[in-house]
Structure 1
Amino acid sequence: MMPRTPAVAAPSRYEADIKALEPEQRRAHDTIVARRGTFSPPYRALIESPDVALAVEHLSSLLWSGALPTTALEAVFLVVARRLRCAEQWRRHEVKALAAGVTPQEVDAIAKGLPPGGSPETRTACVIAKRLLAGQRIGRDHWADGQRWLGKRGLGELCAFVGVASIVAASINLQGIAAP
């Protein structure tokens, strides 16, 4: 079970000294900050490869404005955080999930590894994300639910979003950031 939201995050192994960034890194940094308003923890490690940092940011932006509802995306972020044991990702996205309309009961269910109640879109996205993260194929019944509640485009975007959320968790875990 993931911990409830603590107040402050632990430091990163990649505390970026903005003045020490190479020109390509600085351009990528400035682009990310211009889009997001901040330079969040996953990008601290990814900035070592500026093109990768920008590609992740671009794909993330596309998916957040894509076919899936924000409630489903935030709930999937929590599913990924739990599966990859990324307490810092959980800490940051639990608050966002609640603000997006994921209920405290749904958050608690995800924290326990259970499918959330709530909307069929959110429940379906979480069930499929959990199966993908476990290396399981998506069977006929789950595919039918996905088509019904998310559509083919939504299923494709869900696959990509699980990947982006996994990159975020891996980057945070690489840095040794642990929620206190």
Structure 2
Amino acid sequence: MKLIHSLLVMSLLTLSTLRAQWVSAYYPGYVQDPTSSEYLPASAIDTTAVTHILHHSLQPNFGTPGYLDSTTNSVGGTHSDAIIQYAHPSKKVLIVVGGSETAQGFIQVIGQHPDTLAHNIKRFVDRHGYDGVDIDWEPLAAADTLLYAQFIRRLRDTLTNAKTLSAAI
């Protein structure tokens, strides 16, 4: 009987470990453009192996309204709505903010308008129905880690607890 009990407990532990696993895939907005040679509509994504889709990416930009650029990687409007509609309710979708060489954008905007950036990220998440945000500050220099940590705390306070906040480190 103890053997059966032990096997049952081990099975339950294994199942809970599997449920807690996070497997994500990046889905860049620019591949949603039907004129692109890399065109991949949301409906063509095989989501059977992932738990989260990271929609890449908004970019922090001091020169754009709201300090968020959604056009460079084509993540605004219909592209956001398409991936959300396809993935929900079975998969979580996070909007990525940042990407390659976005450190200067983060530094400029957060240095002067951290609350505005945090609130505009929240508005974008809420408007499109994302499940959260992934911050991808690249490169993150040692000198910028305090600014980064302060912004992450500010963003966490701005988002509701129901929203996921992750980071590419």
TM-score normalised by L of structure 2:
0.28
Which has more helix, going by share of residues?
1
Q: Which has the higher contact order (CA 8 A, sep 6+)?
A: 1
Which has more strand, going by share of residues?
2
TM-score normalised by L of structure 1:
0.26
Larger-Rg structure = 2
